[in-house]
Amino acid sequence: MSMSARQMAMLAPRLTSSDMDRAANKEGQRRTIYFTKKLPGDGGYRRTGQYLGEWQKNKWSGKGTHEMANGNRYVGAWAEGKRHGMGTLWVKREGKLRKQYAGQWQNDLQHGRGVFNYKNGDNYNGEWKGGVRHGVGIMTYATGDVYEGEWFNDQRHGFGVMDYVKGDHFEGMWVEDKKEGEGVHFYFNQAKATHTRRYDGEWVDNVPKCGFYSEMPPDPMVPASEVPDSLPAGKLRDSHGVIAARLAEIREERKHHRATRVPLDEHFTAEELEALQVAFNRVDIDGKGTISFAQLPAAFSQVGMETTEEEMDEVLAYLNKTGSPDEPFSFAEFSQAADFLSPVPEEGGQM
């Protein structure tokens, strides 16, 4: 006597929850996996994305392509379900896929070297950290201007060179996306098709504050430059002495602004920053992200630094603080104070 299909199903071994988990677990190369979302009411389901590629322990890992609900597409390397390694992100604009970023990724963010094409036509080719421009890179603006130099936390910061579309050229220091410190600006004469003047001096908040204007020497390749672009004669007595004194004043006035904005990773190694963070956290037991002025000596002692009252007064002046016992200090300010108090070895000497 033959059994019915129902009887055979009843006799078949049932899958346990562990069996089902193993069956659903994705490992290695898989066909396209579609992701859907149930619509309200009886609207059915809508596709929210799809993935084709390699898996490891049920997560995207290896090479794969992810198409998102908004039409964007990522093609490249994955690790633990996140973009990690070399990859390219395409975004949908005006009905077409356009390449936005091609380069290195880490934990789903741009990290390493890569090229980013902005919607407004700007283009950046350089180093990234945690999803922002950081390191050395070239920014080509839609206007035609080009900046090549250092970046910090998505801003021009450090030494950089700017070539303007109209021919001017700047070489100098930048702080938080603005010219700040020593810099040289070369002025381009459209009629003579060459640089005919230059300014050497101090810049403050993107503005030239004090310096020297001078004529550029003739360019043998540009005959028109043989005719000088004359500047009016200076009539100030001891002009060099006056300007030197004013330059010293500006540098003293801007010393705090410039010093406190130097990136911490230029002052310390990764290991030193980690040690400072541990010391800070041991004092910041409530996890507020700040410690008081009264707690500073305890934080310094965690890294083997003993401070005197005179040194603490110098720290207050350096950071423009009042000295109130409850005045808060951030980790960045604590690190800047530690750097200020650290002895600087003389050339050829030892710590």
If phi over 0 gives left and psi between -120 and 50 gives alpha, with beta otherwise, what is residue 313? alpha
pLDDT value at residue 12: 52
pLDDT value at residue 7: 55
What averages of pLDDT result for each successive group of 10 residues across the chain (351 residues)? Answer: 53 52 62 71 78 92 93 96 97 93 97 97 96 96 97 93 97 95 94 90 94 86 76 72 88 80 74 90 91 93 90 87 90 87 52 35
Burial of 239 (0-12, 13-18, 19+ CB in 10 A): exposed
Strand partners, 133: 128
Please report, for the chain, how many H helices and E strands are present, in that order.
Answer: 9, 17
CB 206 within 8 A of CB 178: yes
Q: Domain boundaries in the chain?
A: 24-117, 268-341
Q: What is the rounded CA–CA span in Å between residue 53 and residue 65?
A: 6
pLDDT value at residue 347: 44
Phi–psi pair at 11, nearest 5 degrees: -80, -20
Q: What is the rounded CA–CA span in Å between residue 288 and residue 134?
A: 27
Q: What is the rounded CA–CA span in Å between residue 101 and residue 164?
A: 25
Closest CA to 65 of 27, 73, 43, 57: 73
pLDDT value at residue 349: 40
The model's pLDDT over 144-192, given as tens digits with 9 standing for 90+, comes to 999 999 998 899 999 999 999 999 999 999 999 999 999 999 999 998 8
CB 103 within 8 A of CB 115: yes
pLDDT value at residue 24: 54
Burial of 63 (0-12, 13-18, 19+ CB in 10 A): middle
Per CATH, domain 268-341 is 1.10.1370.30: no
CB environment 203-214: b (16+ within 10 A), e (fewer): bbeeeeebbeee
pLDDT value at residue 40: 80
The model's pLDDT over 62-107, given as tens digits with 9 standing for 90+, comes to 999 999 989 999 999 999 999 999 999 999 998 899 999 999 999 9
Find the angle CA(196)-CA(200)-CA(203) to the nearest 5 degrees.
Answer: 125
Q: Which two tokens stand for residue 7?
A: 């009887």
pLDDT value at residue 18: 54
Cα 6–chain centre separation: 65
pLDDT value at residue 340: 85
Q: What is the rounded CA–CA span in Å between residue 162 and residue 148?
A: 7
pTM for this prediction? 0.72
Distances (CA, A) of 138 to 25, 164, 171, 175, 246: 44, 13, 14, 17, 34
Per the prediction, the chain carries an average pLDDT of 85
